[in-house]
Every structure is written in C-alpha cells, then in structure tokens.
Amino acid sequence: MAVFLPHLMSAPLLPLAILAITVLVLSTLAAADTTVQARQEQRQKEESGEAVALTKTHAVGFGFLASIGLLAMWMWSNVLVYMSLLTFGLGSFVSIQQCMPNIMKRLGLGRGHQWHHMAVAGLLVVSWFWHRNSRYSWIFQDILGGFTITLMLKVLKAPSMSSPTLLLLTAFVYDVFFVFVTPYLTKSGESIMEAAATGAAMTVKETIPMLFRIPSFSPNGGEAMLGFGDVVLPGILITFLKECDARLEEDQCLVGLATSMTGRTDLLSIPKPMPSPLYISRKSWWSRRWGYHLTAVLGYALGLEVTFVAMMWSGKGQPALLYLVPCTLLPAILLASKRHELSLLWHGWDELESETMLLDLGTDIDAEDEHEGEKITSVVSQDRMQGKVSLEPSSEILI
C-alpha cells in the first residue's frame, strides 16, 4: 500500500474518486424521497409512467439488455457512437431542466422560470457538443453526467432492498464477464468492455460520452475513466438506504408521539427494535444514530480505492463493480442485521399493512387506552394520507 499511496493521492485518480463520490452523495440526496409528500408524489409518477419502481424482473433483465447494448456498441461502434452522443445530449438537457428548480431554490433564487432552466440546459449541452473533441471536453461531459445520474436516480426507485441487491449482483457478473472472460473469446484478445468504452474499434474521431473522465495532464497523456453505470447502479441502493434512514427516524418519532399521548410503548406493529424514550424535537446531527446512507457511501469510497489499487497492481483496466458491489452492499447488510432491521429493509414498507403506521393495541388493554390509541391511529393515518404531516428527519413533528 505504501507503494500505491502516492499514486492514489495524485492526479488523475484522486480527482476522479472525489468527483465520483461527490456526484454519488449529491445525486442520492437529491433523489431520495424523505417526506410523506415526496413519497406520495413518487407513487403518482409511478402510476403515470414518469418513474419506474425497480422490480426483480428489471434487475435480471438488466444483464440481458446491457449485454446486447455492449455487444452492439463493440461491433458497430462507428454508427452507434453518434446515437450515444444524441442520447446523452437530449438526456442531459432534460436532466438539467428537472434539477435546476431545486438548485436555484437552494441558492436562494427561487425556483426560476422554465425558460431560465431551458437556457442553462441548452448552453451547457451546446458547449459540450461543440467542444466534445477538444482537450477540455471532459469538463462539460462530467458536469452533464452528474445531472444525468441525478435524473436517473429520481426515475429508477427501489421499493425494497431486495431488487437493487439483485440488480447489483447481476451487474457484478456482467462486469466481470465482459472484462475478464471476453478476452479469451475474441480473436484480438481484447476486452469487449474496455474496447467499447474507449472506442478502440472506432475509426471516426468520436468518443463514447457515457463515462466520467479526468485527464492526467502529464506529457504521456492518458485519462482515468469511470462509467456512469458504476455510479448509477450502487446509487439506486444508496438512494433507497437514504429513504430508509428517513423512514426509520420518522417511525421512531411516531413511537415517541404515541407513547407521550398514551403512556404505552408497545403500540407500533412495525418489526424493529423499540427506541429508548424519545422526545419529539429538533435533533442536532451528532445526536442521530449512524445511518445506512453514510455506511454505504463510505463502503463505496473504499471500493473505489480498492479498484484503483487493483488497476495499478495489474496494470490493466478493472471491472469497478467487482469491488464496488461487495464494499457497498455488505456493510449495509451487516449493519441492518446487527440492528435486526434487515427483514424490514429487505421487504420494504410496502409489505406492511398500508403506509399508515397501524397501532395494534391488543385485547388485554383497558377501554380508555384502546380509545386513545384508535384516536391517534385515525389522526396520524388521515394526515399522512393527505400529506399534512411534516416528518422530515431533522424537523419537529407538526400535525
């Protein structure tokens, strides 16, 4: 490690790692639905077809479709490269328009007008297309890639941990096969993945835009590259984990609310450990429990560094998901298992009896407690279904 540390701390690997982790964190935070209203809007989008709830069928189908697309790009790269440029440009234009209102709001500029968003999106996309073959094209490509990944994570949402886990395992096999196995199946002995990503088989002066690029700025040239899929696929799981953090803290706050009103601590039928006595108030960041989102992000960062070490050790390109999948997935699974929350995360909240936090008072309590519990259930259920309950993790509960 002492031999590789100077390389990991120098260009272009360190900037690429910082870029990938920054995009992953910002995009998952932006895509996660952490409030009741956001979850209701997401359901409406799924019903209208504007968003997709990731299923196990989608996860298995990814490997098949991705394999066909990669083989086509390898065999007909001179033609399909222009299709990829068009797809990337249009996707980036839409992504920037979707993200601009929230960005402007964060900057204190309001949400702006539609023509503002279109102007910014058009300017960035045209700048990238005009300079796509220049030495500075990577700047625009990386910026557009960050917006594109954010929109993809907003559209592809996981209702439970099982579907993104299966997706990552499928992508793990897909990545390993096309990097390590295909050199034995091609006449030239080249990796299909690397040849398609770098455009080695192309005779036209174009490059595939679906990856992050950081140049080395050295006389020898060269670039460090990371595919968008190496951020998007783990990002689907990490976005779900961020939503889990919000839901678990939200549910614990409801436990505190019900406990303070009835004096009982056995009201919720959610299969998770009961919290210690909770007060419903604004929490400082250091008083919160360790989150699944942060755990997965740190695991992803570790997996990225392991990828770089393996690349320098072997002197060849590496399938990033070979290292990213276990480093991202296993820490979250181990933490959930230790907390006895793995079953809840694995199946998701949709398998509970509706989203209304049912209060199961049982038959052994007195009539007064039963009446009070039903009253709380009615109020909480009605307000949550109408989106009137503000249950953001860092805010007070307002009913």
24 pLDDT above the threshold of 90 = yes
Instruction: Check if 364 is active-site.
Output: no
* Band of residue 376 on the pLDDT scale cut at 50, 70, 90: very low
What 8-state DSSP symbol labels residue 36?
A: H
Spatial separation of the C-alpha atoms in residues 171 and 115, rounded to whole Å: 39
What are the strands, taking DSSP E only, across the chain?
A: 52-53, 156-157, 211-215, 223-227
The domain ranges of the chain are: 5-385
Spatial separation of the C-alpha atoms in residues 62 and 310, rounded to whole Å: 26
Query: Are 377 and 368 within 8 A, CB to CB?
Result: no
Catalytic residue selected from 33, 142, 230, 245: 230
Environment class of residue 185 by beta-carbon count within 10 Å: exposed (0-12), middle (13-18) or buried (19+)?
Answer: exposed
Over residues 162-166, mean pLDDT: 94
* pLDDT over 90, % of the chain: 39
Catalytic residue selected from 33, 142, 175, 251: 175
What Cα–Cα distance (Å) separates residue 143 from each residue in 19, 88, 127, 171, 392?
10, 12, 11, 25, 29
Query: Are 237 and 32 within 8 A, CB to CB?
Result: no
What are the strands, taking DSSP E only, across 197-355?
A: 211-215, 223-227
pLDDT of residue 355: 45
Query: Are 148 and 84 within 8 A, CB to CB?
Result: no
Which pair of structure tokens corresponds to residue 358? Answer: 């049912």
pTM passes above 0.75: yes
Concatenate the DSSP letters of all residues of 69-103 into one string: HHHHHHHSHHHHHHHHHHHHHHHHHHHHHHHHHHH
pLDDT of residue 220: 66
312 pLDDT above the threshold of 70 = yes
- Most confident of the following: 128-137, 182-191, 358-367: 128-137
Residue 218 neighbours by CB under 8 Å, 6+ apart = none
Q: Is the peptide bond before 12 cis (omega within 30 degrees of 0)?
A: yes
* Band of residue 369 on the pLDDT scale cut at 50, 70, 90: very low
Pairing relationship of beta strands 156-157 and 211-215 according to DSSP bridges: unpaired
Over residues 60-87, mean pLDDT: 89
Lowest mean pLDDT among 40-54, 227-241, 363-377: 363-377
For the CA atoms of 182, 183, 189, 190, the dihedral, rounded to the nearest 10 degrees, stands at 80
Instruction: Check if 230 is active-site.
Output: yes
